[in-house]
Every structure is written in C-alpha cells, then in structure tokens.
A and B are shown apart, each in its own frame.
Chain A
Amino acid sequence: MTGQYLAFFIFALMAITGGVFMINLSRVIHMVLSIGLSFFGVAGLFIMLQAEFLAFVQVLIYAGAITIMMAMGTMMTQGGDEGEKPKRRLHNVLSFLSAVLVGAFLLYGIYTTSWPTEPTDLGANNIKEIGVTLFSNFVIPFELASILLLVALVGAIVLAKRDGEKD
C-alpha cells in the first residue's frame, strides 16, 4: 500500500463518516459540525486530484462559510419543539431503500465500466491555467455568476429583514 492509497482512504473515510454522523447524531449543532468534517475530507480528495485551487475554495466556502452559517442559523431557529418526534417508520424504511437503490445502481455502473486509467497531468501551475481559461472561454458565465451572487445577497437580506423596519 503506497502513501497515496493511504491518503485516499483517510480522506474518503473522513468524507463518508462525516455524512454518516450527520444522519445519526441527534442534536442539530452536532450534525452541522460533522458535515464540516465531510467537507474537509472532500477538500483532501481535491488535493489528491491536483485541484489545489478548488481544495482551498472548498475549505473557505464549504468548511468555513456554509458550516458556520448553518451553525448560526441553528442558533437563530432554536424552537421549543425539539423533543417530540412522531414515528414515521414506513417513510424511513422507504427512504432508506431508495437511497440504497440509488447508491447500488451507481456503484454497479462504476464497477462494470472500464474507465480510462491513465491520469492527465494538469501541471503544477494549474491555478494560473484556471484563471486564463476563466477569463478567455468562460467570461460570460463568470459575469453571470457574479450577478447571481449579487441577487442572492440582496434577496437574502430582503427575506431575512424584519417586516416592521423601514429601509
């Protein structure tokens, strides 16, 4: 077993255990923190795939911003009805079956297809490459993404503003 396989197993284990803990823990804040572990694992997988820029973006946006924002949202929306849980056993079993079916179908497809095995070397300097491609071939999607972020910012503020306040 080489070091690369070891790193892959560690990062994949981080990603999957984070997700499983999110399903199984009972407190919402613990769920939010465990999904942070999953995001860090995926960032590690990105580094192994020579996508260093995306790994840093993943840590900044997912593990940093989204996890913390959801933790803040959890604190802002703590209600009294934490305790009572009506049982929905049939619903849970059906959901589990459909999730397992989706997963089994995807895994079967993955293991019966012969994928290209030779990785392409994306180069040590691929952050520069991303910038050049983004501003030569993908300028219009880039600008649209910035407009989308602006609209989301304004929309989130308008939605979360209290009704009574003017301005």
Chain B
Amino acid sequence: MVPLGGYLAVGAILFSIGVYGLLTKKNGIIVLLSIELMLNAVNVNLVAFSRFGIAANITGQIFSVFTITVAAAEAAIGLAILVAIFRNKATINASEIDIMKR
C-alpha cells in the first residue's frame, strides 16, 4: 500500500512546477495551463486525504468535483479573454500587455 506521503509529495512537486511556469512563461495560454496544473495538485491532495485522513470519507472527493467545475469555468473565461486581447493587440505575450503601466 503506497503511503499517504507519496501522494502528497507528487502533489507538492506538481504545485512547484505550476508555480515556476506561472512566474516565468510569457505566453498567456501556458500561464493558464500552469494554473490548471496547480489546481490539479490540490485535487490530488484532497482525494488522498479523502482516503487516508483521520475522519476519511467521501466529502474530499465531492470538494474536488467543485474544484474541477471552477477550474473548467476559469479556463473557458481565461481563453475568451485571451482571444479578445489577441483581437485588439495581435499578441498574447504577457510582457507586452502593459497598457495600464503606461
């Protein structure tokens, strides 16, 4: 039986990869995907604790159903915003979207 720490470690590593991608990538789509990866890492933790926790029950899985719902809505809205930005500025490079800094 794989211990709880293994699943939590995978979640932590996925979360750090997501943090690094979020901070360094300039393409807006990849930034969105990094956020999805971080939400996925959180889901791994929720499901692992719903099996191994002290009062383990099905509620952890239900919580991650809601997380997945919100993540899907966020991806759709984010992509729509990126398409609108691309239509106006012909780029989705995050370092060039700086109108409010000028």
A and B are interacting partners: yes
* Residue ID in chain B nearest A111 by CB atoms: B5
How far apart are A25's CB and chain B's nearest CB, in angstroms?
10
Q: Please tell me if the beta carbons of B4 and A115 are within 8 angstroms of each other in the complex.
A: yes
Docked CA distance A59–B19 (Å): 23
Closest Cβ of chain B to A55, distance in Å, is 9
Contacts of B92 in A (CB 8 A): 77, 79
Contact with B along A1-44 (1 / 0, CB 8 A): 00011001000100110011011000010011001001100100
CB of A70 within 8 A of CB of B33, answer yes
Question: Which B residues are in CB contact (< 8 Å) with A53?
Answer: 61
Per-position 1/0 for B60-102, Cβ under 8 A of A: 0110111011111111110111111011001111011000000
B33 to chain A: which residues have CB within 8 Å? 22, 31-32, 35, 70
Would A102 and B50 count as touching, CB distance under 8 A? no
Q: How large is the interface on B (under 10, 10 to 19, 20 to 34, 35 or more residues)?
A: 35 or more
Q: Is the CB of B70 within 8 A of A148?
A: yes
Chain B hits for A151, CB < 8 A: 73
CB distance from B40 to the nearest CB of A (A): 5
**CB-based nearest A residue for B53:** A116
- The residue among B12, B70, B95 with the most chain A CB atoms within 10 A of its own CB is B12
Interface of B is mostly: helix
- Find out whether the CB atom of B20 lies under 8 angstroms from the CB atom of A95: yes
- CA–CA, A162 to B87, complex, Å? 9
A46 to B52 Cα, complex, angstroms = 13
B80 partner, pick from A15, A65, A159, beta carbons under 8 A? A159
- Closest residue of A by beta carbon distance from B87: A162
CB pair A152–B73 under 8 Å, yes or no, is: yes
* A59-83, CB < 8 A from B: 61-62, 65-66, 69-70, 73-74, 76-77, 79-81
Docked-complex contact A110 and B30, CB < 8 angstroms: no
Please provide the chain B residues from 14 to 37 with a CB less than 8 Å away from any CB of chain A in the complex.
14-21, 23-25, 27-30, 32-34, 36-37
A77's partner among B29, B34, B44, B47 (CB-CB below 8 A) is B29
C-alpha spacing A16/B10, complex, angstroms: 8
Q: Name B residues whose Cβ lies closer than 8 Å to a Cβ of A.
A: 1-10, 12-21, 23-25, 27-30, 32-34, 36-37, 40, 43-44, 47-48, 50-54, 56-59, 61-62, 64-66, 68-77, 79-84, 86-87, 90-93, 95-96
If A73-B82, A152-B77, A157-B80 are given as contacts, then 4 extra A-B residue pairs at C-beta distance below 8 Å, sorted by A number, are A23-B17, A42-B40, A119-B52, A134-B65
